[in-house]
Structure 1
Amino acid sequence: MPLQDTDFAIVGAGILGLSHAYAAARRGLRVSVFERSATPLGASVRNFGQALVTGQPPGPMLAMARDSREIWARWAQGAGFHLRRNGSLLFARTRAEEELLEAFCEVRAPEYGYRVELLRGSRLLDLYRGQFSHHRAVLHGVDDQQLYSREAIPALVEYLQSEHSVEFHFSTLVRDVEPGRLHTTFGSCRAEQILVCSGHDYQTLLAEQIAPLQPQVCRLQMLRVRPEQDFGLAHAVLTGLSCVHYGAFADLPEAEAIREQIQNQQPELEEHGIHLLVSPTPHGELIIGDSHHYGSDASPFNAEAVDDIMLDLAEHTLGTRLQVLERWQGVYGSRGPGPFSVLRVAPGVTAVLMHTGVGMSVGPALAERAVATLLG
């Protein structure tokens, strides 16, 4: 059957593609999504499913994370997937990490309206019946959310199909795009607007226009584990190591002491870009990681030593032994000129790229802004 003409043609069924599909469809437009694989397999299903507000720097990223939070709630209710809305826990294991969290709560949080609370003493002891009493403090990021991507993304596809009449073409490679027309392995069709949301693939489409951004690919080592002691973890977990990676904290003066601590005591963490993230699944398991290795391509080879470092960090942070069930590579586009790029490459042809691993956190609101701009 020939492809049908459409108002919006979207290349890529990851979170950016699906977010743009929703933003266009809810405005009453005909939307078609094209995905080269039989099901989404990129960053949106390989990574943690953490939609963090607390970690975003003040400004547009924080605003989009807040707006995205409400969109995720709407999607979870409509599509019926599991969404944890009880926030994240960021643990301070050293005095330097605790001092940074104190400074954040005293200065930045009230200035920019981050909804956080710092738990110490008896409140820390009461958390999960004392499971985290070996830490100095914990920052509870109230607005942070977490979902199980492997189930949530397919559920969102089904929701867009059934409730918003979005047409999906899986196992369909888009070979070329031009103003008003899109060419695939199953034929061509017309489209008023074409949006290319193809993740870390910088070669198949619009390679010449993307090349000046000098983007790279970030590869992450990831694990799914079962805790020996199941204490019912229901929050996303981070440590003070994340404070030197996330913009909400990284430019505070107190972050420098953490960087020095890493360089002097655990330089391997900096070498492999390791900072601990833990995401509980709805099935009593945990997804843990992550490491960061950058390049023009993602190497297929994992280092067991990197997994060992992350497992040791996770076991110490969680206070329990972990059994590895599965290992894989996460991947996302990274290191462009900013956290994201929206390129109007030709009339009616736009590329949207993330240059950092926070597509889940800001993607839904970024799409709302991009579609509103395209529609004038």
Structure 2
Amino acid sequence: MPMNTTHTPLRTDVAIIGAGILGLAHAYASARRGLRVSVFERSGTPLGASIRNFGMVLVTGQPPGMMHALARASRDIWLDWASGAGLHVRRSGSLMFARSEAEARVMEAFAATRATESGYAASLLSRAALDDLYDGRFSKHRAALHGHDDLQVFSREAVPALIDYLQRVHGVEFRFGTLVRAIDDGLVETTAGVWRAEHIVVCAGHDYLSLLAPQLAALQPRVCRLQMLRVRPTTPFALDHAVLTGLSCLHYGAFSDLPEAAALREEVVSREPALLDHGIHLLASPTPYGDLIVGDSHDYGEDASPFNAAAVDEILLRLAEDALGGQLQVVERWQGVYGARADASKEPFSVLRVAPNVTGVFMHGGVGMSVGPGLGELVVEKIVAGASEWGDFNSAV
């Protein structure tokens, strides 16, 4: 529906709706190409998936092909951001520990086949190296896989620092506390006025009703809710790696389709069915302040329930204490949240060409930090090139 305005619209080259990591990635890709960029965010500061997560830029976990390529490209962009914005980034990689022989077999199969065939920078630690790691803290584990390319940031500080960097260095305009009511024919109607933009990019996270609702409804979108903890070791130690266990082999596409993963799933069904019931696999990320972010669980629905289950937190805490080899004190509890789809086997993201000057970009999984920056580059490259036919964008890498 055409908009009615009695004022001359403000002008920008690219209007981006959403200041999460996906919106910031598109802002960066646009601004570094010399475009004037305006970002609109309804909240006073980013509060969604991009600051509630582990801060993992997980290259090793992405399935081979398009997603692995996006993660590798995103890693380079994160390092550029770290240099320009002064972000705290851990570059030691990730450590995935095997709690059982079944977990170890998946990791060994990955290292022997997929890692070399598909170009993953990952390797198994020797027994001696595992025994010596962090003064023997992890020696009880059966095996360990080192993901060399993986990075880790402290999201609740990294995202504001990136916003500041985009403002200062790249001249990006941010309009926080500003709701975009409608977009039509190059006009962006907001609670702060109307803008005219050559290109409009909607990166609205799991808001499926405010903008592009008909197109999003066709995707059968869902919301995934995760229970998260920040914990402090009772005996401090200087962890410099992101930590996973072999349970993550059932969650991440780099491992989950390997034949050995089927046997692992059978083991978990037999011994720890609650883990699958709640979608639990352990992740632990050190913060710059000596504590760790621990999770996560997965609860899917049309809305995110506000009620956490104490039993899930207890499972997460038990897994973390077992994996990390020490008692943990809970400092904070919160819910992570991100967009998903009813059919999780479909594309991990959608790029919707709604009109020649309107594009929607939506993630359907919790890997926005890992692949979002690279995806932003691809989308903006298409927009700037004026491509009329994008084809099957979700596989175009």
Bin of the TM-score, shorter chain as denominator length: over 0.9
Q: Letter of the aligned partner of 1:347 in structure 2? A: P
Alignment of 1:1-376 (within 5 A): 4-335=10-341, 337-376=346-385
**Partners in 1 of 2:379 and 2:356 — Cα distance?**
15
Runs of 4+ displaced beyond 2 Å: 1-4
C-alpha offsets along residues 108-141 of structure 1, whole Å, 9 cap, x if unaligned? 1110111111013211011001000110110000
Aligned partner letter, 1:235: H
After superposition, the C-alpha distances for 1:206-237 in whole angstroms (9 at most, x for unaligned) are: 10111000111000000001011112111000
| 5+ residue gaps, structure 2 | 1-6, 386-397
Question: Is the contact made by 1:2 and 1:187 (CA closer than 8 Å) also made in structure 2?
Answer: no
Instruction: Give, in whole Å, the separation in 1 of the partners of 2:9 and 2:113.
Output: 55
> Residues 11-48 of structure 1: CA distance to partner in whole angstroms, max 9, x if unpaired?
00000000000000000000000000110000000111
1:131–1:318 Cα contact (<8 Å) kept: yes
> What are the Cα deviations for residues 255-280 of structure 1, in whole angstroms up to 9, with x where unaligned?
01110011111110000000000000
Residues 59-89 of structure 1 deviation map (CA, whole Å, 9 limit, x = unaligned): 1100010011010000011001100111000
Q: CA separation in 1, counterparts of 2:324 and 2:136?
A: 11
Q: RMSD value over aligned CA atoms?
A: 1.0
Q: Secondary structure of the residue that 1:264 maps to in structure 2?
A: helix
Deviations 1:295-344 (A, max 9, x none): 01000000000000000000000001000000000000012631000001
> Judging changes above 3 Å, is the alpha-carbon distance between structure 1 residues 288 and 3 closer, same or farther for their aligned structure 2 residues?
farther
- Secondary structure at the counterpart of residue 297 of structure 2: coil
Q: Residue 64 of structure 1 aligns to which amino acid in structure 2?
A: L
In 2, the alpha carbon distance for the partners of 1:2 and 1:34 equals 19
Residue in structure 1 matched with residue 388 of structure 2 by the alignment? none
Structure 1: how far apart are the matches of 2:9 and 2:377? 26
Give per-residue Cα distances to partners, 1:137-156, cap 9 Å, x unaligned: 10000000000000000000
Identify unmatched segments of 5+ residues in structure 1: none
Structure 2 SS opposite 1:375: helix
State the alpha-carbon separation in 2 of the partners of residues 103 and 203 from structure 1.
Answer: 43
Which residue identity lines up with residue 333 of structure 1 in the other structure?
Answer: G
**Cα distance in 1 between the residues matched to 2:196 and 2:9:** 9
* Offset, 1:178: 1.3
Aligned partners of 1:309, 1:248: CA distance in 2, in Å? 25
Contact 1:120 1:136 in 2 (8 A): no
Shift of 1:2: 8.1
Normalising by structure 1, report the TM-score. Answer: 0.99
The one-letter code of the counterpart of 1:346 is A
**Within 1, Cα distance between the matches of 2:360 and 2:239?**
39
- Change beyond 3 A, Cα 1:120–1:344: same
CA distance in 2, matches of 1:200, 1:108: 33
Q: 1:4 deviation in Å?
A: 2.8
The whole-number CA distance in structure 2 between the counterparts of 1:176 and 1:124 is 55
Going from structure 1 to structure 2, the CA distance change for 1:280 and 1:2 (only over 3 Å counts) comes to farther
3-state SS of 2:288 partner = coil
Report if aligned partners of 1:179, 1:347 keep a CA contact under 8 Å in 2.
Answer: no
Q: Is the 8 A contact 1:222 1:330 kept in 2?
A: yes
Q: Secondary structure at the match of 1:254?
A: helix
Residues 10 and 21, structure 1, Cα contact 8 Å, conserved in 2: yes
Provide Cα deviations, 1:133-187, integer angstroms capped at 9, x if missing partner: 1101100000000000000000000000000000000000001111211000111
The letter of the residue matching 1:238 is L
TM value normalised by structure 2: 0.93
- State the distance in 2 between where 1:62 and 1:2 align: 45
Task: Rate the CA distance shift 1:101–1:6 in 2: closer, same or farther, 3 A.
Answer: same
